[in-house]
A and B are shown apart, each in its own frame.
Chain A
Amino acid sequence: MAYRVLITDDSPAMRSFVRRVIELSGFELSACFEAGDGAQALEVLKNEWVDAILTDINMPGVDGEELLRRLAADELLRGIPAIVISTDATQNRIERLLALGARGYVTKPFRPEALRAELERTLGVPCD
């Protein structure tokens, strides 16, 4: 089965990297959308359904925390699993973001297989 994902990060290089490592890891994508911040992500979600959202936290404008709040507040969007990708590996931050509604958390740096594993766990995909 192939999945539709949305990558939200203010760094074009990071968005490109995340997309590449998802593909390299063997996780099948049928569509991959990109957004530079939370506001752009919400715009994409007005027109496109996705199976998962991968989001950075520290972004200008609508940051990752606010994106999680807005997703949780939206009846149609709250069911989409969001996975945070962040350099911040402190336990306080991870717990805070999970409490805001994130379903997964990947700390940068990460290996491609770690990102795939978190996507599969979050989406309930059976392991190979």
Chain B
Amino acid sequence: MVSSIGRMIINSIKEAVGLTALLLDIVYWIVIAPFCGKLIHVRTVFYQMMFVGVRSALIVFFVTFFTGMVLAMQSAYQLEQMGATIYVASLVAVSLCRELGPVLTALVIAGRVGSSIAAELGTMKVSEQIEALEIMAINPVRFLAAPRFIALFFMQPCLTVLGNIAGMFGGFIVGVYSLNIKPELYIQTGFKFLALKDIYTGVAKSFVFALIIALVGCYEGLNTKGGAEGVGRATTQSVVLSFILIILADCVLTAIFYFSGV
């Protein structure tokens, strides 16, 4: 029991050190190396942006759209008793922009993109493709991890904003067609209580989530050991670890925003 807890702690520390080292490595290749003439492949970045952003848009839309609907119905159930159904609009808007939009989008992307990064890089690792790159003097972090990192870093906030809009649209549908709130009134109340800071704190969170997803996916992929089983383990581990880290980061960031009065 004690030894297994000890092993768990040691493994967590190892993982934390590995993730930090990879982050520094990626930052080096993105920020410093281009000045030494080692550029990131722009084509790969755009290709990854297509995969991460454009092809994930639909699933993000649906997840947040239905969440917005559920949120409207659940809050209407409570607010009805006080005769305050009209505030459904602001409740949906604020809770989506501050919290649910960024987090749900991040979880969807961690499941869709993070896992696929881990699986792809993991397969490359076990089939000696990563070693082949190294022998060709091509750094795998520059060639594989950095473009994925950049793509996620720019697409995640875009997807989050899309998620916010889709969720509010879902709430709007319920508000107008089921709770019989006038459309103009719904929109007016929605935006009345939605401050600009609600939106940018949410978007700020999404940058951190993007960093977590890309980092964990690349780390688990590049450190895959064994054959097919190892790739499976890396994929699962990437999803589990990024889920935990996303929720943890969300808690920390929310506390920071809350206590600093943002």
> Do these two chains interact?
no
Chain B interface (Cβ < 8 Å from any Cβ of A):
none
